[in-house]
Structure 1
Amino acid sequence: MRIFGVILAGGEGRRMGADKALVRLAGRPLIAHLLDRLEPQVERVLISANGDASRFSGFGCQVVADAAPQGPLSGILAALTAAARMGATHVVSTPVDTPFLPGDLVPQLLLAAEASPSGLALAADPTGDHPATALWPVGLAPALSAYLAEGQAKVTRFTETHHAARAQFPDPRAFLNLNTPEDLAQAEAMLKGAA
Structure 2
Amino acid sequence: MTLKDHKKHSIITRPAYGNFARNEWAIVGTPCGAIKSLADAVIEALSPAYKCAYVDASHAHSDAAETLPGRLAAGAVTAYTDQIQYHQFDLNKELNHFQFRQFFSDMDLVLVNGNHEQAKAQVVVIDPAKESSLQKRLSQLTNVQLFLLADTATEVFDFVKEAIPDWQRISILGLSETDKIINFFQGQLSQARPKLNGLVLAGGQSLRMGQDKGAMQWHGKEQRYFMADLLQEFTEEVFISCRAEQQAELDTNYKALPDTFTGLGPYGAILSAFREQPDAAWLVMACDLPLLNKATLQQLVNRRDSSSIATTFESPHDGFPEPLITIWEPKSYPVLLSFLSQGYTCPRKVLRNSDISMIKAFEPEALANVNTPEELERVEQILQEKKTLS
What is the rounded CA distance, in whole Å, between the counterparts of 1:98 and 1:35 in structure 2? 12
- The alignment covers a number of residue pairs equal to 191
Say which of 178, 193, 201 aligns to 1:8: 201
How do residues 144-155 of structure 1 correspond to structure 2 at under 5 angstroms? 144-155=336-347
| Match of residue 65 from structure 1 | 259
| Match of residue 355 from structure 2 | 163
| Match of residue 188 from structure 1 | 380
Give the TM-score of the pair, scaled to structure 1.
0.84
| Match of residue 37 from structure 1 | 230
Letter in 2 for 1:98: L
| Match of residue 28 from structure 1 | 221
Between 180-189 and 6-15, report the one with greater CA deviation. Answer: 180-189
Give the TM-score of the pair, scaled to structure 2.
0.45
Q: Which runs of 5+ in 1 are unaligned?
A: none
What is the rounded CA distance, in whole Å, between the counterparts of 1:28 and 1:191 in structure 2? 15
What is the rounded CA distance, in whole Å, between the counterparts of 2:220 and 2:312 in structure 1? 30
Which is richer in helix?
1
Letter in 1 for 2:240: I
Report Cα offsets for 1:95-144 as digits up to 9, x if no partner.
11012223144543345443x75341111253333122111112321221
Give the deviation of 1:60 after TM superposition: 1.2
Give the deviation of 1:11 after TM superposition: 1.6
Letter in 1 for 2:234: Q
What is the rounded CA distance, in whole Å, between the counterparts of 2:310 and 2:277 in structure 1? 16
How do residues 4-153 of structure 1 correspond to structure 2 at under 5 angstroms? 4-50=197-243, 51-84=245-278, 89-114=280-305, 117-127=307-317, 128=319, 129-153=321-345
Give the deviation of 1:58 after TM superposition: 4.3
Letter in 1 for 2:310: L
Greater C-alpha Rg = 2
C-alpha RMSD of the superposition: 2.3
Letter in 2 for 1:43: E
What is the rounded CA distance, in whole Å, between the counterparts of 1:24 and 1:107 in structure 2? 23
How high is the sequence identity, in percent, across the aligned residues?
A: 25
Give the deviation of 1:26 after TM superposition: 4.7
Going from structure 1 to structure 2, the CA distance change for 1:33 and 1:57 (only over 3 Å counts) comes to: closer
